[in-house]
Each structure stands twice: as C-alpha cells, then as structure tokens.
C-alpha cells in the first residue's frame, strides 16, 4: 500500500484535489473520508463530484445518509454516516448495490461503519494543524 500526503492551504486547493481524484475515478471504487467536523470532507467531496462530471450542488446528506448523483461520467454515491446509530441502517438503504456496483462511492465518517467496509477501500484522512494556520489541512491518501 502506498501513502501520499498532500497539504492544502485553502478550501479551493482541497476542492481541486477532490476534482483531480474524481476525474480519475473508475467503476467500483470506494473512497473513505475520515476527519473531524469542519476539516473539509464535504469540500473534498464537492470537488470529487465535479471531477466526475456531476453538475449542480452537492451538499452533505447528513440527514439522509446517502445521496445518489446519476448525471456524471459514472454514478456517484455520496454517503455521510455521521448520524448513523447502527450499521443496520446501511442495509436498509441498500448500500451493497452502491459498494458493489458500477459507480464510485465516497463515504464521510467511514470509521463509523468500519465493519462493513470492503478491504479494497481507498482511505483518505484529513487533519488540521493549527500551528500551520487556520486553513491548513494535511490530507493522507492511501492508494
Ligand atoms: P466536513 O465535511 O469535514 O465537516 P466541510 O467540508 O463541511 O467539513 O467544511 C470545511 C470548512 O473548512 C469549510 O468552511 C471550508 O471553507 C473550511 N476550510 C478552510 N481551509 C480549508 C482547506 N484547506 N480545505 C478544506 N476546507 C477548508
Ligand atoms: Mg461533511
């Protein structure tokens, strides 16, 4: 496994990183996003969606767990599992069709559903470091 660390200094740079990975997205990929509230998971996701060619606004589907976007180059499955109480809720929404389908999945707060994550997920970890500035983010990508 290879790990790449990318440092960004603005939301725009994080968006651009997401867009680049979205442009490279292939069917069946699952990206997991971990990091504290406000670290930039949704900003990254918005870039990723743009990279896949999804038009229109992409917001955090915090109250719905899953938002599906069909308008891009590939289906885009955006999960935000922050408010999940039990992984059974993932079964209720039919997550397997997304995880094992032809689109790309991106899961915010993926550590909360660790037990159902396939082994081939690409992990993205986002961290702040206030000593390096308010807008600094360290983004570790496992590929
Ligand atoms: P999360 O989804 O992780 O809770 P959001 O993406 O919703 O976080 O919010 C991130 C916030 O941090 C936004 O207000 C964004 O403008 C701000 N921000 C500041 N610097 C950065 C950066 N380098 N990358 C991403 N977001 C940043
Ligand atoms: Mg979010």
pLDDT tens per residue, range 50-68? 999 998 888 876 578 999 9
At 62 the pLDDT is 59
Domain locations along the chain: 14-120
Helix axes 41-51, 11-23, angle to 10 degrees: 40
Cα–Cα distances in Å, from 29 out to 80, 95, 101, 131, 134? 16, 14, 9, 34, 31
Count of CB atoms situated within 10 Å of the CB of 102 = 11
- Does 46 contact ligand 1 (Cβ within 6 A)? no
In the chain, which stretches have pLDDT less than 70?
A: 61-62
Between the CA of 136 and the centroid of ligand 1 the distance, in Å, is 10
- What lies within 8 Å, CB to CB, of 55 at 6+ separation is 71, 72
Between the CA of 95 and the centroid of ligand 1 the distance, in Å, is 26
Between the CA of 111 and the centroid of ligand 2 the distance, in Å, is 14
> CA–CA separation, 44 vs 107, rounded Å?
11
Look at the pTM and tell me if it is higher than 0.85: yes
Domain with residues 14-120, CATH architecture? 3-Layer(aba) Sandwich (3.40)
User: SS3 string of 46-57?
Assistant: HHHHHHCCCCCC
Give the mean pLDDT of the chain. 94
Instruction: Among 10, 31, 38, say which to mutate for ligand 1: greatest number of ligand atoms within 8 Å of CB.
Output: 38
């Amino acid at each position: 496994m290879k790990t790449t660390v990318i440092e960004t200094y603005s939301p725009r740079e994080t968006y651009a990183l997401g867009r680049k990975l979205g442009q490279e997205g292939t069917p069946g990929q699952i990206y997991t996003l971990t990091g504290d509230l406000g670290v930039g998971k949704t900003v990254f996701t918005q870039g990723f969606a743009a990279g896949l060619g999804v038009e229109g606004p992409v917001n955090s589907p915090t109250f719905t767990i899953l938002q599906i976007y069909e308008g891009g180059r590939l289906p885009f499955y955006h999960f935000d599992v922050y408010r999940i109480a039990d992984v059974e809720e993932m079964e209720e929404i039919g997550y397997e069709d997304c995880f094992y389908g032809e689109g790309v999945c991106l899961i915010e707060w993926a550590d909360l559903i660790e037990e159902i994550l396939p082994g081939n997920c690409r992990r993205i970890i986002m961290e702040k470091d206030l000593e390096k500035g308010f807008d600094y983010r360290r983004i570790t990508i496992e590929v």
